[in-house]
Structure 1
Amino acid sequence: MSISTPSVTNFTAGEISPRLDGRTDISKYFNGCRILENFQVHPHGGTTRRSGFRFLAEAINSKKKALLIPFELDGSRTFVVEFGEDQSGQGRMRVFSALTRESEFEGDIPYKAQEFKQLRYAQSGDMLIVVHPDHPPPHRET
């Protein structure tokens, strides 16, 4: 008797835990897989490869570390905020739209490349809040 391997076309359970190995009595066992990297699962069961990244621009300074922060304004407008340090040592930020290669906004920031690990950020509605323990939060006019 030969061993048969059934084709799997439904990955709606996504990645399943190794604790489910051999648990054919659980329906999710047949709707998942052990590792599912760089794929998007469709609600109807199939998968497609995750789309790649597109080169937008050189980093502000490729010799220094940079920080990229995702920012979603609403469901249809997304941005990437780049924090870097220019050649003179001035902290800089650029905001890139997902649709264009051009920077939407560019300006100075008080943070240096070695401080990026201590930055904490959160999004609240249409605002990106960035804090660092060594820098006071900026005063916002109301």
Structure 2
Amino acid sequence: MGSAVSRVAAASSKEALAHFESLLKFETDCWDVHHALTNGLQDFVLVDVRGESLFEQGHIQGSINIPHPRLNEKRLAEFPQDTLFVVYCAGPHCNGTEKAAIRLAKLGRPVKKMIGGVTGWIDEGFELLSHKNICKKRIA
């Protein structure tokens, strides 16, 4: 009989390889983004697709804020057509990244989703930059 895990046979190694390699075409994770940001390897634009007030409360340093409904040709005009956009939102409970990725793909722009979003970023022990932190640094 077997467990619920093994009841459906696993894919062949060839199928598994194709599937998991394909996933990396569509997504990246917090560790890879953090490594790029902290080692001067940022070859993408990191976009926080949440609303402005949430962005001000806390966001990843080095990201820009473009709420997903505002992703359009005019807003992206400053970026070369081949710019890779990495989008993130609140976390696994939020589908803002999918909405943003759809918009970017329809505009013919390269896009990846940062899995985990803000929740994943914090879970990995990375800090967020907030408007309060910026104000404190300016006063100090």
Q: What range describes the TM-score normalised by the shorter chain of this pair? A: under 0.3
More strand by share: 1
Higher relative contact order (CA 8 A, sep 6+): 2
Q: TM-score, normalised by structure 1?
A: 0.22
More helix by share: 2
Q: TM-score, normalised by structure 2?
A: 0.22
Q: Select the structure of larger CA radius of gyration.
A: 1
